[in-house]
Structures are given as structure tokens and as C-alpha cells.
Amino acid sequence: MVEFLDVLKADNVLQEKVRELSNVDVLLSTATKEVKGDGKKVVAIIVTDRKSGQEKEIALDGVFVQIGLSANTKLVEELVPTNERGEIIIDASCRTQTPGIYAAGDCTTVPYKQIVIAMGEGAKAALSAFEDRIRS
């Protein structure tokens, strides 16, 4: 498993499980440079250790790609505060610090970036907006 960051960000239970597997090596601070094939299938990847700059080739039969996620919040970056990862900062009711602007889902500071959570957060944001409009 190749991880670009210095640490794994997955839930602790998943991190523990992968470390228990004898057939999995976890490479932290490692950038994937190239996926190599023989014209029919994947045969290796070339990775670079981000700290030492050392490059190595790892023979393998296939790859699963999970590209890192970044919040797509450029549209509102001048309207609401964001954190260092570009996530919109919200309270427990999906309100931003800008009155009348609500945010929900993976572009926010809500933990656990999962579809079902984003759907629930969307409903919560709509209910908060409704409540604010009725009270105002």
C-alpha cells in the first residue's frame, strides 16, 4: 500500500487490520511515479520515497487506485472560512460563519467522508436553513 502522506488517515480499526496482514507492506511518504505494463497487464509500479528521494520498482500483478480527495470549495472561498485543507468550516447544524450560507458533505469539516453521512448532512443543512428562515 502506497501512501503519499506521512501518516495513514483511515479509521484506526482499518489501520490495525492492514498492519496485521502478512502480505501487505505499507509505504508512507511515498509518491507513485509510474505504473508499468507489458502491453497486456500491469507488471510493476515505480515509487519515490518523498523523504530520501530514493526510487524503486515494485513488481506486482495489478493496482487499485484511490486518489486523494480535496475539497472543491473555490466557488465560496471568499464567502466562508475554510481550514488548511480547503474544507468549509461548519457548526453542528451545518451553518457556516456567514449568515445564510450552509454547507454539507465532503467539502466541509464534518468527519467521516462517506456518502451516507453527506446525505444526512445535506438534510441537516436544509432543516437548519428552514429553521433559520422561519425564525427570522
What pLDDT digit, counting tens, does each position of 62-93 carry? 888 776 667 889 889 899 999 999 999 999 99
Assign 127 a pLDDT band (cuts: 50, 70, 90).
Answer: very high
Three cell numbers at 131? 429553521
For residue 127, how far is the Cα from the chain centroid? Answer: 26
What HEC string does 16-30 produce? Answer: HHHHHCCCCCCECCE
CB 94 within 8 Å of CB 88: no
Q: What angle do CA 74, 76, 82 make, to 5 degrees?
A: 85
Alpha-carbon gap, residue 62 to 35, rounded angstroms:
9
Alpha-carbon gap, residue 82 to 12, rounded angstroms:
26
Q: pTM, whole model, 2 decimals?
A: 0.56
